[in-house]
Amino acid sequence: MSEYLFPFRLFVRVAYTGSFSQAGRELGISQSSASRIIAALERDLGSMLLVRSTRAVVLTPVGEIYLANLEPILAAFDEANLATRGGIEHQGRLRLGIHSGVSLREIVPRLSEFLDIHPALSVDLIADQPDRNAIREPVDLALQVAAPEDTTASMRLVDSTPRILVASPKYLLRKGVPTSPVELITHSVIAGPSPSRVGSWFFFRNGRAISISIEGRMTASTNEVAIASAVSGVGIIATGLWSCQSEIESGVLVRVLENWDMGDFKLCALLPAGAASKTVARSFVSHLVSAFQKQT
């Protein structure tokens, strides 16, 4: 890492993590050294960038503007170095936050491929990132299902998958196969994690829309638990095709109301404020997009 750029990179990590000690650990220096370096940077600029308190370190209004202007500069510097070196292997550590509903089946296999390409790279994999708060966690890249609410992040759509209804053959044999959305009112429903756990399910066909009020007989905090419950015969679940493709192929789950459209689940990649300088994060997003395109 360039010695000249070190204070700027340190500032980005402090701004993002809200902690001198954590930023120092990431960059291999002590908390006191990190604080001293940032103080020197502020003196050179003639402006206070951060407000220190016993609870947290937060950006000042000037610091927010400085961070927004600094990130693309550092990102461009890293991109230039990478291009000059002929696409050298990524090194260091990538902190990756992922939504558990898609991570085990779709992200982890592709992460393994990426690590094979970059053997000097290490990854901290943080699962179960809450949909709305994933980008506020100390990660370099967050992957989450559905559109994010944090407009300060740089978002890229990785892929989408149709939202479908599935149930086990033994459940359908016992309860009958619904032939229209309104018949779901008489069925047992498994409410999975957000965004599946909603009060209504919406169906579309030939310009017609139907809203069905749903009360889950069972709720599940993770998608894997919801899928397992459906396989065991508890009821019908609405989930993404990603989440149950193998179960459908093996026959332990079958689709219900296939001729009705329920919309899509979207997998979004977010680069939180302060993480844009990590070229490896953007590189992994590109790897994911390419991998999903090849799949289709």
97-139: pLDDT as tens digits: 887 666 667 788 888 888 888 888 888 888 765 444 445 556 7
Residue 283 pLDDT exceeds 70: yes
Instruction: Give CATH for domain 161-264.
Output: 3.40.190.290
Residue 221 pLDDT exceeds 80: no
Instruction: Give CATH for domain 6-84.
Output: 1.10.10.10
Rounded Cα gap, residues 226 and 203, in angstroms: 21
Q: Where in the chain is the domain with CATH 3.40.190.290?
A: 161-264
Q: Which of 62, 79, 66, 80 is nearest to 12 (CA)?
A: 66
For range 161-166, the mean pLDDT: 92
Confidence class for position 256, pLDDT limits 50, 70, 90: very high
Rounded Cα gap, residues 81 and 87, in angstroms: 9
Burial class (CB in 10 A: 0-12, 13-18, 19+), 290: exposed
Higher-scoring residue by pLDDT: 279, 245? 245
* Chain centroid offset of residue 193 CA: 14
Q: Are 141 and 97 in contact (CB under 8 A)?
A: yes
Q: Where in the chain is the domain with CATH 3.40.190.10?
A: 92-158+266-295
Q: What is the pLDDT of residue 73?
A: 79
Specify the range with the lowest mean pLDDT, choosing from 129-133, 173-177, 185-189.
129-133
Rounded Cα gap, residues 134 and 101, in angstroms: 14
Does the pTM surpass 0.85? The reply is: no
For range 82-89, the mean pLDDT: 58
**Which residue type sits at 111?**
L
Q: Which of 185, 187, 168, 184 is nearest to 233 (CA)?
A: 168
* Cα Rg of the chain, angstroms: 23
Rounded Cα gap, residues 6 and 1, in angstroms: 7
Q: What is the pLDDT of residue 232?
A: 94
Q: Where in the chain is the domain with CATH 1.10.10.10?
A: 6-84
CATH of 92-158+266-295, one of 3.30.420.40, 1.10.569.10, 3.40.50.920, 3.40.190.10: 3.40.190.10
Specify the range with the lowest mean pLDDT, choosing from 50-59, 102-111, 192-201, 208-217.
192-201
Within 8 A by CB and 6+ apart from 243, the residues are 101, 102, 105, 223, 227
